[in-house]
Amino acid sequence: MHEIFDHTADLGVRIETASLPSLFAEAGRAILEVIAGDPGQVRPREEVSFAIAGNDPAWLLLDWLAEVLAAFDLRRLLLAEFDVTITSTGLRATARGERYDPSRHVLAHEVKAVTQHEFDLHQTATGWEATFILDI
């Protein structure tokens, strides 16, 4: 599950999941919700792959969020479904979605960047938690 909260001129996202890969997938879905409002309007028509090197989960999450945001900024891809695998050397993911179509998609926010302000990722007794702020 994820929660989106107001943060001055930004939006914050807080995520709690049982595993690190599910946290990364949920973070991708949260980015979509902030950009497009209703994730249900996005169909899984196109598939893209991601590979990010790294062994620090926090930096890996920041890089992942930047890649998901760049997919929209550079290719106009709204990504709705995510399969994420994390190893000791990095992340591999497959995401599915579709290109932004102004006749079908209503955008909610322009996300300028994922910030490091108040960024937190930590393991808990029941899984993982993350908090990050999106500059809108």
Q: What is the CATH number of the domain that holds 66?
A: 3.55.10.10
- As for how many domains the chain has, the answer is 1
| Residue 87 belongs to domain spanning | 2-135
* The predicted structure's pLDDT at residue 96: 98
* Segment 26-36 mean pLDDT: 96
Tell whether the torsion through CA atoms of 68, 70, 75 and 78 is positive or negative. Answer: positive
* The predicted structure's pLDDT at residue 4: 79
Angle at CA of residue 95, ends 18 and 85, nearest 5°:
45
Here the tokens at position 51 are 């590979």
pLDDT 10s digits, 37-92: 999 999 999 999 999 999 999 999 999 999 999 999 999 999 999 999 999 999 99
In whole angstroms, give the CA distance from residue 135 to residue 116: 10
